[in-house]
Structure 1
Amino acid sequence: MKSNSSKIAMKKLSGLIYLFLSILFISPVFAQKLTKRKVAKVFKNSEIVNNHYTGFALYDNETNKPIFELDANKPAIPASNTKIFTLYTALNMLGDSIPGLRYITRGDSLIFWGTGDPSFLHPDLKSRKIYDFLKNSDKKLFYSHSNSSTDFAGSAIYQIAMVSMPVIENTGRAYTDKDGKLRLSPAFLEKSLKMDTTYHPITFTIRRDEETNSFTYPNMPVPANFRQTLYLVPGSELTTSFLADTLKKQVNTLNMRLPQNAKTLFSIPSDTLYRRMMLPSDNYLAEQLLYVCSSLLPGKLSVDSAIAYSSRNFLSDLPDKFQWRDGSGLSRNNLFSPRSIIKILIKLKEKINNEERLLNLFPAGGVSGTIRTAYKTDNGSPFVWAKTGSLSNVHLQGGYFITRKGKKYLFSFMNNNFLIPTADIRNEMVRIITDFHNKY
């Protein structure tokens, strides 16, 4: 029979074992919870993020509540994170397919207007619905440019200007053929190509006139395998020439106002265009997408009108004052705070209401888009889906990530005005988000 002292000792031992097991199996759950204090410590100890403006916001994906914020109310240049706002605008204004053409028929004539849809003969989108419609029509074709705000709507920061009906991204190609002769494609551009003996570039390069699609080349031997993309000034003449060359039929120009009863022909699924804009961060598609949005508004096509409409109707609940100037984020006059980026990520999530579809529109770390090589996967699976943004002295990410414990978060990580290599900023962002994923 055991003594009372033995019983007491056994109870104490049992208590110690229970305490040990509690520490071993229960405490880590709480110890590894992502908290404000722990995130703050990570940022305090980072030498990289403390030598310039860093704005950061981390929110719980389930509650949409903040866990940690660092200067999250201060506006900063968002670069290509601006495309998230363009995406949200398009999701609110456009349906499941992109309006590709407006048209009416009058007698033996088919009269059509562009909507700004950039997918027409786009080399990566491979949209043929508009092409087949025009190609197979037995009517005379008339293109009206009257709904374009200007023949050259792009500013100096855009290599490819916006236009109501872009064809092949409004680009041409210069190359040497198998006989070593200089050629332009489409071939109709060759009539505007001339030699200029006063033009002396370091290497053989074709030069375009600033305001017209006239080209000059130097009095130099054409290099073998020469290739050059030609960025063209858009306008009604270029569009009709492109269409005639592509369709192999006559296309006439008509200055006719777009009637309210014009029919709409849709081109490609909207998500196809959105994904192509978001993953490689295509600036041209982003600008044209806002052009398409503006085609649903009164007046002529205009990026400014689409931004103004979206700001009034879809973005009035952003937490901080913002400044939005273009669709792509190339303008340094765009200003959004990390909190506003988090808000648009929440609004996107609620608007789409389908996690698989939502994440499919964002670059996936280690898998696709602009963060394919930045992050590594976790046993083959991505854990972060984020839009990047880069300009000189600007680099950021905004999106979603999941931890190994299955906890989901939204984040905005903004870096402005740094004087160190962008790679150092990117690597530090990746290190911090990856660490959150691994530990919590």
Structure 2
Amino acid sequence: MEAVFPTYARWNIEIVQAEGTKVIDQNGKEYLDFISGIAVCNLGHRPPQVQKALEEQLNKVWHVSNLFQSSLQQQVADLLTKNSSGDLVFYCNSGAEANEAAIKLARKHTQKSKIITFKQSFHGRTFATMSATGQEKIHSGYGELLQQFVYLPYNDEESIENEMDESVAAIMLEVIQGEGGVNPGEQSFLEKCQQLCEKYGALFIIDEVQTGIGRTGKPFAYQHYGLSPDIITSAKGLASGFPVGAMIGKEKFKETFNPGSHGSTFGGTPLAMTAAKATLEQIFDPAFLKEVTEKGDYLNEQLNKELADIPFVNDIKGKGLMVGIHCEIEVGSIITELREQGLLALVAGPKVIRLLPPLTVSKEEIDKAVYMIKNILTKTETVA
């Protein structure tokens, strides 16, 4: 790939075919995919109902300007607002764009600039979302960042109480930090963040780019905690791999984001909305989400049972089908060995194995993955 900027440390694999939880590379090798495009293909690869809907839409219209009415945008917005605390939706193309929109809306609505985020957070790689991200490695090399972002320790109630005052426009967080290590928020901490926003007139923004759209067994992960955020951002799992992002906000922001205040050429195209509608109709079905919860519980139970005797495994964290195996050692070589054995998994920081299987994964496939993980970790233990 000599003509492509080397912005990714790519593996020497090209996926040429994919269906459900299985992918096949250029050499014909099959893998069990516990990455799902990094929490994107929540219904697995090429889900039939989404593919069928897209094929039908291809014969109608692909793109028009947002100057026109769109019944598809309204139908997807209905699904998102009925399954969240929001009332209105802005469409874009990615999680970073959704978070950019949230930052713009918060600053415009409150007429304040200071936004509190957290260490080890990840909100994107545009300049504003990079500035919102609490990781030095994401900031390095870009000079002065966008001002007035403050990074506090996650799950630290005292630090948030000390920092919060009338100058704060918003608190922005992931209820389970993904790229930062699969770190779940504590109930009391998250409630404290919401209470402080209410007290000081700040907005409560929850980044659900990785955790949302059924990944944890509910439409959005914040719903496990009984929260009511002002703004929710979503992207990855929204449309089964088709680029879609969404910022969901409450009715009170309608006049703030008025005509000309924000926009996106490709936000909410007919193809994107078709894919999102077909995806959400299945994922937001209560029976489907119940199965996700059961499979998430099963994965957690099996990992805790089978890895209990591995001395360098510290903890298994997460919720639903978003799981991090926290280790005392760096896990990059373990990810490579798993891949060689036919299981695709990720890191989340240097010492966490991250598992993000499709929500359609079977218990038999979970057993197979856990067996491979245990086998590799046991061998690693022996070598260590």
Q: Report the TM-score range of the alignment, normalised by the length of the smaller protein.
A: under 0.3
TM-score by length of 1: 0.25
Whose helix fraction is larger, Structure 1's or Structure 2's? 2
Whichever of the two has the greater Rg, that structure is 1
Please give the TM-score of this superposition, normalised by the length of structure 2: 0.28
